Amino acid sequence: MMSSESNAGRLAAVCDPDDPYASELAGYLASRSDAATIFRCRELDDLDRAVRSGRVGEVVFVSPEDLLEAVWDGQVNFAAWRAGGVRVNFLRLPQNTDELFQRVLSCWDRWRLRRRRRQILATVLLSVAALLAAWVLVWAGS
């Protein structure tokens, strides 16, 4: 059931086959009368294009964290989704707002840490490239 093949349905779900909740999501989708297109987490750009082109009218995420990280990474233009009337549902929602808030903060911290690591790596690579360029210029000038 977990494939990324597209179909004519307007229902989409986001889940990787190895996700611990993949079978729970498959059961939920089986209980629906709509056929669903399954997108892997690495295919969120494709999902965003499908939503914004009108081929998808409802998206089911396993958890709010999955959607938040996609928005923060720039893979999902949620404002366009809202403007297009796309419904978003979650398979696993916290029972209370305090738990939801804690999960959002935890997700935000993980995302910022990943972003910081990417920025550090980019800085190191650019510094090495600049040093190599400077060395080549000095070597060529002598």
- pTM attached to this predicted model: 0.65
CATH 2.40.160 describes domain 1-93: no
- What is the tens place of the pLDDT at every residue in 36-73? 899 998 999 999 999 999 999 999 999 888 898 888 88
Report in angstroms the alpha-carbon separations of 58 from 14, 26, 109, 133: 11, 16, 28, 50
Indicate the residue type of 72. W
Phi-psi region of 93 (alpha: psi -120 to 50; beta: other; left: phi over 0): beta
Contact 14, 44 (CB under 8 A): yes
User: What does the pLDDT look like over 68-117, one tens digit per residue?
Assistant: 888 888 899 999 998 888 999 998 887 776 676 677 777 777 878 888 88
**Contact predicate 16/40, CB 8 Å:** yes
